[in-house]
Structure formats: structure tokens, C-alpha cells
């Protein structure tokens, strides 16, 4: 199963017309491990953002959805350069920050070159409900 999931993520990475990817699933099934392992294996740099009880990130995304400002803010907070070609952005527990979830469509429309994988244990309920 692990290899199958990593292969699917690798194919997503290679797709020239990729969208931010959302991984849905119950709690404690390995979503976070999968995203981090994927970043470790296939990217030079990974920025892991967990929105659960993370006021700094909620403020960063809550101000507005200016993608260049968000990227600069992430670089500052995580002390790393985010390169759209070789950096994976992981948005974990994204359901905890509606603005971050909403930002995915702005990344798609205005900055599709960024590689973003998002996950959350309650997303199934949010999407369905």
C-alpha cells in the first residue's frame, strides 16, 4: 500500500498541469507520514505546515490571499527559500484554517507552479457536509 500511494504521488508531481492535491482520510491512517516521506524522497526541500493550534499560520493566511506575500511569510517563518521547482509545501490539518483551505484555489489560479499537498482528518465531513 505504501509503495502504491507513493507512486500515485510521484505521478501527480510529474503532471505538468497539476493542481494542489488534497488527501482525505480518517485520523491516524498515515496521511502525515505519507506526505513527509514523499517530500523526503522526491524534493530537495519540504516545508511542513500544521495548522492545528498554529496561530502564526492562521494569521498569515487570514490577512489576505496574496500568494507572493504568503510565500514570503512562509520563507520567513520557516527560514528557508521556497523554490517552486523543488520545494513541496505540506498543509496538514488544513481544515483548522479555512483561509488556508481556500488559498488552494488561489495557488491553482495564480501560482500553479507550486507543489502543494494538503491533508486533514475532517475534510470528508467538510466537503460532504
Structure confidence at residue 128 (pLDDT): 35
Structure confidence at residue 125 (pLDDT): 42
Structure confidence at residue 56 (pLDDT): 96
Count of CB atoms situated within 10 Å of the CB of 52: 13
Q: Consecutive 10-residue runs of the chain (129 residues): their mean pLDDT?
A: 85 92 84 96 97 95 95 98 96 94 95 95 49
Structure confidence at residue 4 (pLDDT): 86
Structure confidence at residue 1 (pLDDT): 54
HEC readout, 22-82 = EEECCCCCCHHHHHHHHHHHHCCEEEEEECCCCHHHHHHHHHCCCHHHHHHHHHHHHCCCC
Amino acid at each position: 500500500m505504501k509503495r502504491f500511494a507513493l507512486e500515485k504521488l510521484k505521478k501527480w508531481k510529474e503532471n505538468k498541469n497539476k493542481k494542489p492535491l488534497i488527501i482525505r482520510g480518517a485520523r491516524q491512517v498515515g496521511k502525515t507520514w505519507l506526505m513527509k516521506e514523499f517530500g523526503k524522497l522526491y524534493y530537495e526541500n519540504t516545508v511542513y505546515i500544521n495548522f492545528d493550534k498554529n496561530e502564526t499560520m492562521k494569521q498569515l493566511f487570514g490577512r489576505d490571499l496574496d500568494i507572493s506575500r504568503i510565500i514570503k511569510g512562509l520563507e520567513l517563518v520557516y527560514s528557508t527559500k521556497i523554490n517552486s521547482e523543488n520545494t513541496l509545501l505540506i498543509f496538514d490539518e488544513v481544515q483548522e484554517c479555512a483561509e488556508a483551505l481556500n488559498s488552494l484555489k488561489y495557488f491553482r489560479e495564480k501560482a500553479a507552479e507550486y507543489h502543494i499537498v494538503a491533508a486533514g482528518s475532517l475534510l470528508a465531513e467538510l466537503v460532504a457536509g
